[in-house]
Every structure is written in structure tokens, then in C-alpha cells.
């Protein structure tokens, strides 16, 4: 069971980075055929499909900030946090390495870089991850999504936020997604924004979810991951 969960997180995060940043790369090399809308849809759809494919195994967090959020909300055992995050980062880096082999001349492999100031992107990433974590907690039971529409709701949030904020901050909301291409290409410009802001946003999502959903969100939730 332990191995299956970590493998699921590896595969899910690999899929996210391979499809999402792959869409950015292919859009660049094809002269904009994919389009910004297509990139946003790709991120939303890959998150949705990975939740449906892997949600029953590991919860399909595919995001270290989400894993930390579930732990803070007392929905995930502390012993699962580090292995989950390491598996997610490993899957993300593996995806960026494959993309490097496929697109040797691409300069950044979809690295998230602010188009304006670092502070502007930092605030955007905090707010967007807050909404992402809030929705995830609202449609999940324990550390796993509940109901047939949970994956669609979470994928929709990712796609929506990528759609409107992607041109400014890259709409990462995911430390592993930003870390992997930065490591592979050596482009660590303002990487701190994309490591710190999603964690703060996820923590805020837990706090506000506890305030809005008086029961069943975090306050009386028991850890179900064993």
C-alpha cells in the first residue's frame, strides 16, 4: 500500500509536469498553435484526469503544497508528508528530464518566471493556491476526493487560474511543478516565489475552510490515511 501511494504520486506529478509544461514548450516551438487557452486547459485537464485515475490510491495530491495543507488540516498522517513530497518532486524532475531530451534547444522548459515584479507574482500565487486548497478541502473526505465531480471541480480551478494569471506569474500553485524545470535548466530566477507562495496559500486555505465549513472541513476531521 505504501509503495502504491508513492508510485501514484510520482506518476501523477510526472503527468502534470509532462503535459502542462510540455504544452508550454510545444506552443513555443510550434509558433503558438497550442495557445494560452490551450495551455490553461491542458493543466486543468491533466489535474482532473490524474485525480480520477489515482485519487482512490493516494488522493492524487500531485502538489507538495496540497500535501502540507492536508497535513495541517489533520487529514494526512505526518509520516506520509515527506515521502509524498519526495515522490512528487521526483516525478516532476523526471518529466522535465524527459522533456529536455525531447526539446534540447528549448531555453527554459516551461519554467515559471514573473512577467512583472516578484511581489506581484508572489501575491497572485498565494491567492490562487488559497482558492485551490479551499476547493480541494471542500470537495474531499480525509486526504481523498469524494464524489464524481470532485476531480472536475479541482481541475476547473487549476484551469481557470492558469487562464487568467498564467501570463503574469505562470500560475504554478505547485512547488514541484516550478522546481523541476528550474533544476533541469538552471533557471532559478525568483524560484523562491514559487516555493514559498503556494505553501502560504495552502495554509490560508486550511484556515479559511475551517472558518467557513464549521464541521467536516478541518475542525473535527480525523486522519484516514494510515
Question: For residue range 201-216, what is the model confidence (pLDDT) as tens digits?
Answer: 999 999 998 888 766 5
Q: Residue 142 — pLDDT band, cuts 50, 70, 90?
A: low
Average pLDDT over residues 72-84: 94
C-alpha cell at 72: 495541517
Worst-scoring range by mean pLDDT, 1-5, 53-57, 59-63, 153-157? 1-5
Question: Is 219's pLDDT higher than 90?
Answer: no
Q: How far apart are CA 195 and CA 200, in angstroms?
A: 9
Place of cell 522548459: 109
Q: Which is more confidently placed, 149 or 19?
A: 19
C-alpha cell of residue 86: 519526495
Q: Could you tell me if 100 and 22 are in contact, meaning their C-beta atoms sit under 8 angstroms apart?
A: no
Alpha carbon distance 58, 54 (integer Å):
6
- How much is the pLDDT for 223? 44
Q: pTM for the full model?
A: 0.92
| pLDDT the model gives residue 212 | 85
| Confidence (pLDDT) at 225 | 41
pLDDT at 115: 95
Instruction: Determine the pLDDT at residue 171.
Output: 96
Helix (H, G, I), strand (E, B) or coil at 1: coil
Tens-digit pLDDT profile for residues 93-132: 999 999 999 999 999 999 999 999 999 999 999 999 999 9
Q: Let me know: does 14 contact 130? Beta carbons within 8 Å.
A: no
Provide the pLDDT for residue 3: 92
pLDDT tens digits along 40-76: 999 999 999 999 999 999 999 999 999 999 999 999 9
Could you tell me what percent of the chain has a pLDDT over 90? 84
Residues 90, 159 contacting (CB under 8 angstroms): no
Domains of the chain, CATH where assigned: 2-212 (1.20.1080.10)
Amino acid at each position: 500500500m505504501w509503495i502504491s501511494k508513492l508510485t501514484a504520486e510520482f506518476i501523477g506529478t510526472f503527468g502534470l509536469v509532462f503535459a502542462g509544461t510540455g504544452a508550454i514548450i510545444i506552443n513555443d516551438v510550434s509558433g503558438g498553435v497550442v495557445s494560452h487557452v490551450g495551455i490553461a486547459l491542458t493543466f486543468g485537464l491533466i489535474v482532473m484526469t490524474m485525480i480520477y485515475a489515482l485519487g482512490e490510491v493516494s488522493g492524487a495530491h500531485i502538489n507538495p503544497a496540497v500535501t502540507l495543507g492536508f497535513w495541517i488540516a489533520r487529514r494526512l498522517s505526518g509520516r506520509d508528508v515527506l515521502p509524498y513530497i519526495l515522490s512528487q518532486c521526483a516525478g516532476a524532475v523526471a518529466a522535465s528530464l524527459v522533456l529536455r531530451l525531447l526539446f534540447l534547444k528549448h531555453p527554459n522548459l516551461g519554467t515559471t518566471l514573473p512577467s512583472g515584479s516578484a511581489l506581484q507574482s508572489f501575491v497572485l500565487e498565494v491567492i490562487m493556491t488559497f482558492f485551490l486548497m479551499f476547493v480541494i478541502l471542500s470537495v474531499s473526505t480525509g486526504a481523498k476526493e469524494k464524489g464524481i465531480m470532485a476531480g472536475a471541480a479541482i481541475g476547473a480551478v487549476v484551469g481557470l487560474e492558469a487562464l487568467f494569471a498564467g501570463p503574469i506569474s505562470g500560475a504554478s500553485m505547485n512547488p514541484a511543478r516550478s522546481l523541476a524545470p528550474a533544476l533541469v535548466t538552471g533557471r532559478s530566477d525568483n524560484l523562491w516565489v514559487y516555493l514559498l507562495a503556494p505553501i502560504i496559500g495552502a495554509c490560508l486555505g486550511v484556515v479559511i475552510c475551517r472558518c467557513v465549513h464549521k464541521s467536516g472541513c478541518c475542525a473535527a476531521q480525523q486522519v484516514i490515511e494510515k
